Structure 1
């Protein structure tokens, strides 16, 4: 990346932030519904350092915002986090999982495998992964964050009433999208958390960050890498690299889209640095990008702002924030996650109208001399829809991106059998009857 490109990105970041500062700040908070619950659960188990997680994810937010110029999220590696929480991983075990994934993504990036993945994976499969990830977010929010709520509990600040109010406001804000929904919800939730912390006499205190180095033992590396890292590799490759590039092009067509190699190197660098200091393994996810876009972010300035906020909080408060953040209402976080899931799932709508692989296929000129795109045939539309639906169904059903991907590819290849048979017949003559 040249100095001229960096200057252009910086100029656009500043211009967008000056034009719509409230929207950029609101959008920067859009992915907290995913980030906070996992970070807090891992910190509460002493699996990661909350201070290091905030500081390093903040630094990565700033760098990616300045380099890529889009609201690219820095979010937890979900498969690793789920295993680490369930099994009570140590610092070394979760660091090992993150380092394994980072190493594999680095190799994929420098060898060109990521570019090859992008070229050979059909758009319906990519769209299926995106829609499936969106539906998975909604299911997780309803099943984990909202299902345990009652009409009056667990507290006056966190119950089904507040969830319904937040959801109704979300529906209204779907029409009036300029309203800073995420910012308002975050401020309200933070006020509720502060009031509850005051009552419990458990407010954060000034505690400066004390960095330490995590060096996994051979046993920790074997446990973390095999039990959590291997399952994360396909998820990171498909949803955090390939799908992110496609989604960025769909949501922000006027902005230079990062290459899969650049995104892959970014994911690798973040974890090759942060995991050694007890930070949570992180990646760039299409769900986080959809969430931040949904709540108003349109440039890298949004995540630069978020990064600076994380840095200040991590350096000066760190681990003392665990009690406060645990009291942030799950009702509000859950609705924010639902909003992110809906935004991500909505990208499937363009499958047969304006997907990237349909552009550039030009037909006859119209009366004004403009060439129009050739729409896909009815068979092609059905084929694309079926492949996307198979990908979504298996991904959601098995809660595994890899299974959804394999199922979608098999369905796509099944549709290619007739043309393959025809090519074989043309090559070897009519002697072959299939």
Structure 2
């Protein structure tokens, strides 16, 4: 059964690549706007090994494309990356944070808690996490990548004029989904980077020499408490549950990966690669939306990306840092902006098309057997408003505190607040019905006792 499933995914990968090779290659580069800034910053801080990160993340790209058959990204764990950059973590502290998150995710996966979370968490809350993550990417693109730029600064190859050009090209090509936008922008940025870096900063041939890292107890404690625990809600909600939902929305013709398999994948990537100094990684819904936005429709796209990354890591390694450091933020910013908007768009299906609105029809065919067709459940105006409010409460909490966990709690509380009056009224009605039944039962008993006494008195 598993072999048949993998063979079906492989055939889809091959057929998609043959049909639209440029779109698959372009889509493979769609998540660079998230990957490059964080990976470069961590490498410059000596918080990760760049060569090892390229080799292992490339390997995970290839295995992910084969196992899942969708453009599922391998991207940085953002909460860990942000703290590691700001506090200049050592490699041991960074991988300790990844070990902590991945270890707990692995326990959640094998015990079935992730499946329980999927059924227990309301769909509007999951949609809110997705929309909030998309808007967070938009805000990040503006504040960290585009806002520091001037019209002609910091240099001729990286400024607002280039950002405007990339944005206009994005608008012109948005009605042509097969146009290789990300591929074109990547090659343009690469050419600009080479011209800025100069010949003395170009990458040179340097074979990968792997090293192992064993975190000390202080490094393990710092990484776990200061970064690892805070990453758990983000990974669980946005990198596992939201990804499973999003893949079924974007690619309904391909079986959506289950949360358990995604969780185990996230755990194993870090529990293996971390020992060699690789960057903590996960599968993010933002990266999936980005790669889909720029043309990826199968696992072939990330297999191509994985091969490219492995070759770079094996042959050039740490010598790539200087070239990647000068990659134009103007072009990256527009790519991140487009990816964020693509992810935020999933909120439009909240009240029509969401998975919790489909129910099996009880209709029968001419032979009298059930058809088992799925029908869309109609919502009242009040239900629609409540679902929108729960989703936006989740988005608001996430954006206000820049924390998926806060957004999740806010959305759940809003959901429960709407459910409490109806639940309490049902409880009250049930209680009153029970009291009424007890009263009727006592009345019938007393009536039966009176009927028994009457014949006895007449006989006497």
Contact 1:24 1:298 in 2 (8 A): yes
CA displacement, residues 368-403 of structure 1 (integer Å, 9 cap, x when unaligned):
x99853321101100100000100011011100000
Distance 2:78 2:377 in 1: 40
Output the TM-score relative to the length of structure 2: 0.91
Contact kept, 8 Å, 2:398 with 2:405, in 1: the verdict is: yes
Structure 1 distance, partners of 2:196, 2:422, is: 65
Partner SS, residue 416 of structure 1: helix
CA shift, 1:207, in A, is: 0.8
Partner deviation per Cα, 1:264-306 (whole Å, 9 max, x = no partner): 0000000000111000000000000000000000000000000
Judging changes above 3 Å, is the alpha-carbon distance between structure 1 residues 323 and 257 closer, same or farther for their aligned structure 2 residues? Answer: same
Distance 2:16 2:161 in 1: 36
1:3 corresponds to which residue? 3
CA positional deviation for 1:431: 10
- Say whether the 8 Å CA contact 2:238–2:284 is kept in structure 1: yes
Q: Which of residues 397, 411, 414 is equivalent to 2:414? A: 411
Contact 1:141–1:337 at 8 Å: present in 2 too?
Answer: yes
For residues 374 and 154 of structure 2, the distance between their equivalents in structure 1, rounded to whole angstroms, comes to 60
Q: Which residue of 2 aligns with 1:188?
A: 188
From 386, 391, 399, the counterpart of 1:388: 391
1:5-64 deviation line (CA, Å, top 9, x unaligned): 111111111011011100000000000000000000000011100000000000000000
Shift of 1:358: 1.0
Aligned equivalents of 1:22, 1:151: Cα separation in 2: 32
Match of 1:263? 262
Aligned-partner Cα distance in 2 for 1:428–1:263: 44
Answer whether contact 1:362 1:374 (CA < 8 A) is retained.
Answer: no
Gap regions ≥5 residues in structure 2: 365-370, 436-460
- SS at the partner of 1:263? helix
Instruction: Identify unmatched segments of 5+ residues in structure 1.
Output: none
Contact 1:364 / 1:371 at 8 angstroms: preserved in 2?
A: no
8 Å CA contact retained: 2:22, 2:178: no
Q: Whole-Å Cα distance in 1 between the matches of residues 156 and 92 of structure 2?
A: 39
Question: Secondary structure in 2 aligned to 1:311?
Answer: helix
The separation in 1 between residues aligned to 2:38 and 2:322, in whole angstroms, is 14
Count of matched residue positions in the alignment of Structure 1 and Structure 2: 428
Q: Deviations over 1:187-211 (max 9, x none)?
A: 0000000111226x21110011110
1:194-273 matched pairs, under 5 angstroms? 194-198=194-198, 201-273=200-272
Residue 169 (structure 2) pairs with residue 172 (structure 1): no
CA contact (8 A) 1:393 1:404 kept: yes
Structure 2 counterpart of 1:151: 151
The answer on whether the counterparts of 1:105 and 1:264 sit within 8 Å (CA) in structure 2 is yes
Q: Quote the residue 1:98 is aligned against.
A: 98
Could you tell me how far apart the structure 2 residues matched to 1:116 and 1:372 are?
A: 24
Q: Which moved more, 1:394-403 or 1:174-183?
A: 174-183
- Whichever of the two has the greater Rg, that structure is 2
Alignment partners' CA distance in 1, 2:183 and 2:7: 29
Residues of 2 paired with 1:371 and 1:144: CA distance? Answer: 45
